[in-house]
Amino acid sequence: MSQDLFLSALQKATAGTLGLAELINTANTLSVTGAGDQAQQLYKIWAAFNPEHPQLYVAHFNRGCLQTQAGDLAGAIEALTAAITLDPEFMPGYINLGGVLERNGQPDEAISLWQTGLQKVAAITGQGFDYKLSTLKQLARILADTQKIEAAEAILRETLALDPTQRDVIEQYLAMRLVQCKWPVVEPLPGLDAQTQVTNTHPLSLAAYTDDPLLQLAAASRYVEMTADSPLELAASDRRHAPVDVQGRRLRVGYISSDLRDHAVGYLMAELWDLHDKAKVEVFAYYCGIPSVDALTLRTRGAVEHWTDIRPMTDAQAAAQIAQDGIDILVDVNGHTRESRTGVFALRPAPIQVNWLGYPGTMGSPYHHYIVADGWIVPPGSEIYYSEKVVRLPCYQPNDRKRFVAAERPTRAQAGLPDDAFVFCCFNGAQKISRATFERWLTILKRVEGSVLWLLESTPETHARLLAYAAGQGVAPERLIFAPKLHNSLHLARYPLADLFLDTAAYGAHTTASDALWMGVPMVTLSGRSFAARVCGSLVRASGLVDLVCASPDEYVERAVTLGHDRAQIAAYKAQLEANRDTCDLFNMEKLVSSLEDLYATMVVDYQQGALPRPDLTNLDVYMKVGVDHDHEGQEILAMEDYHGLYKAKLASRHLARPVVADNRLWTAQDIALTDGEPAVPEPQARLRRAAAD
């Protein structure tokens, strides 16, 4: 049928009787029936026979879109260039052509093109307004991807000046300020107050912004509701009530991740695939990341039994594939990170769904049943900060003991470090360096005479900002040294040049911590309350250096200063790390994988007994309002002793204005009675009332 339609349209085109509307309709029909090549050819032939048509640019544009979908980037560039040559005011052509240029490895050309396009829509009216916003967003994204962070932030600020209600732009804007160490991170903008900005901060950025686990839970829940809410009707792939009978067969476990490649998470998981007990577990990897054939991707593909690339699939298609594979337990290894596929989990293609490793915090969703942690990251009593049921490994984070370290070890001189100074280091990303953390570091440097701080390279503007801040606090700029980014094997090889790693807070080192400890560099870390603020403490403890995990900012500073004057103790710690590397929990992958498989088995039993956890999302909108009302940069939550008292006082104020129902976190029936001036309800009776209300 497609062939007949194509031939009929072709005859009309060559005879000059095929109008533009009929051309578009015919090409659309050909495309949706799988004859995209014929649709492209029809546009090309029509253009050749209609060189003077006033809307010829539309035919070129549509052909360019088809060629983009087909992966013919060179053809798409030719067609879209023809479109904007014919009509220099045609903004969709600029927007799409810039995207194709970017995909074709020409980011600078894309930036230049979009900047040209912006000049075409100076008038902020009608459709031009939408085109300008779209172009500004594309421009900001590509500037950020090419490390032109300062310019990207300026574009985002301009975008918010046009429309301050854009949640996605606010997210990007605050992420840009975090990564540039611009303090305060949140400052009022025209039409956009601080509370609104914090409300719209991305959950991952919020983990770096503040150690406030209740706010992080509420923000994650809000983000899920806005971006990947559960469908009102049951999806075809919904298997939430599917039987999980593993008698006579292996448990089918699926892992969804965009990072099974040259990425921190990819390195952490590399050995996991080799150690899964293939007599018990059938492993499925669902990859949703950028196209990759790097060594780590190939290693992973060779180790897992089933590999499916779901990047080209819609959420519904991916969920259908997972349901068809009969997955019993589906593990989200992205969480709220870039290129995540949370929408797949919303369709519930597996009876049991788990949050582990890729995102350091709760998902806040109604469809993630468990979160994998350990006893330090989520100690007893901290379960209230998570919507999922907390299950625990001996140590939460896997590691790759086969990681490659370059044989040639540089000298301090080769790394730009002084030979005789005490070298503190921190190779965490700049977005994790808060003002409070940096000020603690400067205090340490001032008290350890002649010491230096070795940081990972960022942008020149960020370097200048940190150096100026240090100088303003009385620390000579030359005492901050920036390490250029290197391939992982070379980066690992230079670690032993450092004496002591100083962790960041509230978002600490994760993979970076494992790397440092593997290479024998001790770490001082400050454990807060939230997941991201406690991972490093877990890893340091699992390595055997329990006394280097601090409970307060003052203890953190004092421990670092003491060690900065005690090279003998540093040498002892380094020797301990080397001696324990093969036996400590941090690098005991057999123990981790066996424990993880035991957790999976327990989840199956829960499911079979009708005891699958139900995520608790009660009152999270209220906790969100309480959390954003606090000045997180003016008063560091991590340093507060009575964190729960802060929340309870504000919950009581809100309850007086508008009643807040009791929940299973901080706001109990007793709190309600006290706030209302009534006699306190005995706790057993309060529980009965809550159960009746439920």
DSSP codes, 36-66: HHHHHHHHHHHHHH-TT-TTHHHHHHHHHHH
What does the chain come to in residues?
Answer: 694
Work out the burial of residue 249: count CB atoms within 10 Å of its CB; fewer than 13 is exposed, 13-18 middle, 19 or more buried: exposed
Cβ proximity of 336 and 220 under 8 Å: yes
d(CA 136, CA 158): 8
Secondary structure of residue 407 in the 3-state scheme: coil
Secondary structure of residue 252 in the 3-state scheme: strand
Residue 197 clears pLDDT 80, i.e. is over it: yes
What kind and span of H or E run contains 654? helix 643-657
| Rounded mean pLDDT, 602-612 | 97
Per-residue pLDDT tens digits for 78-115 = 999 999 999 998 999 999 999 999 889 999 999 999 99
- Please name every residue paired with 389 in a beta bridge, in sequence order, or none if there are none: 370
Per-residue pLDDT tens digits for 137-163 = 999 999 998 999 999 999 999 999 999
Secondary structure of residue 197 in the 3-state scheme: helix
Cβ proximity of 185 and 612 under 8 Å: no
Cα–Cα distances in angstroms (integers) from residue 652 to residues 216, 224, 361, 632, 673, in the given order? 20, 27, 27, 20, 10
- Please name every residue paired with 78 in a beta bridge, in sequence order, or none if there are none: none
466: CB partners within 8 A, 6+ apart: 181, 433, 438, 455, 480
d(CA 205, CA 489): 28
Secondary structure of residue 524 in the 3-state scheme: strand
Nearest C-alpha neighbor of 428 from the set 356, 340, 360: 360
Quick check: bond before 506 cis, omega within 30? yes
pLDDT at 227: 96
pLDDT at 125: 59
> With bands split at pLDDT 50, 70 and 90, how would you rate the model's confidence at 691?
very low
pLDDT at 690: 36
Residues 487, 490, 493, 498, CA torsion sign: negative
Residue 432 clears pLDDT 70, i.e. is over it: yes
Work out the burial of residue 128: count CB atoms within 10 Å of its CB; fewer than 13 is exposed, 13-18 middle, 19 or more buried: middle
The string over 15-33, giving b where at least 16 C-beta atoms fall within 10 Å of a residue's C-beta and e elsewhere, is eeebebeebbebbebbbee
What are the strands, taking DSSP E only, across 499-560?
500-502, 523-526, 549-550
- DSSP string for 224-241: HHHHSPPPSSPPTT--TT
Residue 10 clears pLDDT 60, i.e. is over it: yes
d(CA 334, CA 340): 5
Domain boundaries, the chain: 2-222, 251-394+590-608, 423-587, 642-693
What kind and span of H or E run contains 254? strand 251-257
Tokens of 640: 């507060």
Per-residue pLDDT tens digits for 373-396 = 999 999 999 999 999 999 999 999
| Rounded mean pLDDT, 218-231 | 95
Residue 520 clears pLDDT 90, i.e. is over it: yes
| Rounded mean pLDDT, 672-681 | 81
Cβ proximity of 323 and 313 under 8 Å: no
Residue 681 clears pLDDT 60, i.e. is over it: no
pTM: 0.90
> With bands split at pLDDT 50, 70 and 90, how would you rate the model's confidence at 9?
confident
Residue 118 clears pLDDT 90, i.e. is over it: no
d(CA 690, CA 694): 6
Mean pLDDT, the chain, integer: 94
Strands 423-426 and 500-502 turn out to be parallel
Cβ proximity of 621 and 643 under 8 Å: no
pLDDT at 234: 80
1: CB partners within 8 A, 6+ apart: 33
Cβ proximity of 530 and 385 under 8 Å: yes
| Rounded mean pLDDT, 457-477 | 97
> With bands split at pLDDT 50, 70 and 90, how would you rate the model's confidence at 123?
low
pLDDT at 687: 41
Residue type, 639: A
Secondary structure of residue 536 in the 3-state scheme: helix
> Which value, in Å, is the radius of gyration of the alpha carbons in the chain?
28
Q: What's the fold here for domain 251-394+590-608? A: Rossmann fold (3.40.50)
pLDDT at 680: 55
d(CA 168, CA 134): 12
pLDDT at 685: 43
| CATH class belonging to 423-587 | alpha beta
Same fold, 251-394+590-608 and 423-587: yes
d(CA 27, CA 526): 61
| Rounded mean pLDDT, 507-524 | 98
Nearest C-alpha neighbor of 280 from the set 300, 305, 297: 305
Domain 2-222 has CATH 3.40.50.11890: no
Secondary structure of residue 70 in the 3-state scheme: coil
Cβ proximity of 606 and 287 under 8 Å: no
Q: How many helices (H) and strands (E) does the chain have?
A: 30, 13
